[in-house]
Amino acid sequence: MTTHYLVLSALLFAIGGIGVLVRRNAIVVFMCVELMLNACNLAFVTFARQNGNVDGQVIAFFVMIVAAAEVVIGLAIIVTIFRTRRSASVDDASLLKY
């Protein structure tokens, strides 16, 4: 009965993951990360429903809070990088290496 939700969740997670790997724009990568987080949330909620308890729902709330905090910091970093380097490409920010 809940299989469709889980399949949707997996599809969303896969789309998000591929987006993170293949896209260069930091904003898009960021959005893909959010997509993966929300795919997880969907899975949590689905399992909560399936098992008949609220644990998964509680965790989904936590994930939202973490995602909100992450957006705040992540966007701030992206904006700062864009201001100094005139680029939002994640490949350009590659100074921290061997």
Partner 1 sequence: MEPAEILSHAGGGAISLAWLMIVLPLAGAAILLIGGRATNKWGHLLGVLMSVGAFVVAALVFLQLIGLDPAQRRQSVNLYEFIPGVANIGLLIDPLSISFCLLITFVGSLIHVYSIGYMSHDPDRRRFFAYLNLFVAAMLLLVLADNYVALFIGWEGVGLASYLLIGFWQYKPSAAVAAKKAFVVNRVGDFGLLVAMFLIFAQFGTLSYAEVFPNAAQASQGVQTAIGLLLLLGACGKSAQLPLQSWLLDAMEGPTPVSALIHAATMVTAGVYLVVRSGAAFFPEGSTAGLVVTIVGVATLLAGAIIGTAKDDIKKGLAGSTMSQIGYMMLAAGIGPAGYAFAIAHLITHGFFKADLFLGAGSVMHAMNDEVDMRRYGGLRKLLPITFVTFFIGYLAIIGFPLLSGYFTKDGIIESVMHHNAILGWLAVLGAGITGFYMTRMVVMTFFGPKRWDEKAHPHESPAVMTWPLIILSVFSVGLGAYLILSNRLLVFLAPAVGQPAELPVFHPFSVPGLTTLALVAVGAGIAIAKYGRSEVPVVQPRGSFLTVFARRDLYGDALNEALFMRPGQWLTRLAVFFDNRGIDGVVNGLAAGVGGSSGRLRKIQTGYVRSYALSIFVGAAVLAGAWFVVGTL
Count of CA atoms in the C-beta half-sphere (13 A) of 69 = 5
The amino acid at residue 96 is L
How far, in Å, CA of 48 to CA of 60, rounded? Answer: 10
User: How many positions of this chain bind partner 1 (CB under 8 A)?
Assistant: 14
Closest separation between CB of residue 27 and partner 1, Å?
14
The site string for partner 1 over 9-38 (x = CB under 8 A, - otherwise) reads --------x--xxx-x----x---------
Residue 23 or 49 with smaller CB distance to partner 1: 23
How far, in Å, CA of 52 to CA of 60, rounded? Answer: 15
Provide the binding-site residues for partner 1, judged by CB under 8 A.
Answer: 17, 20-22, 24, 29, 90-91, 93-98
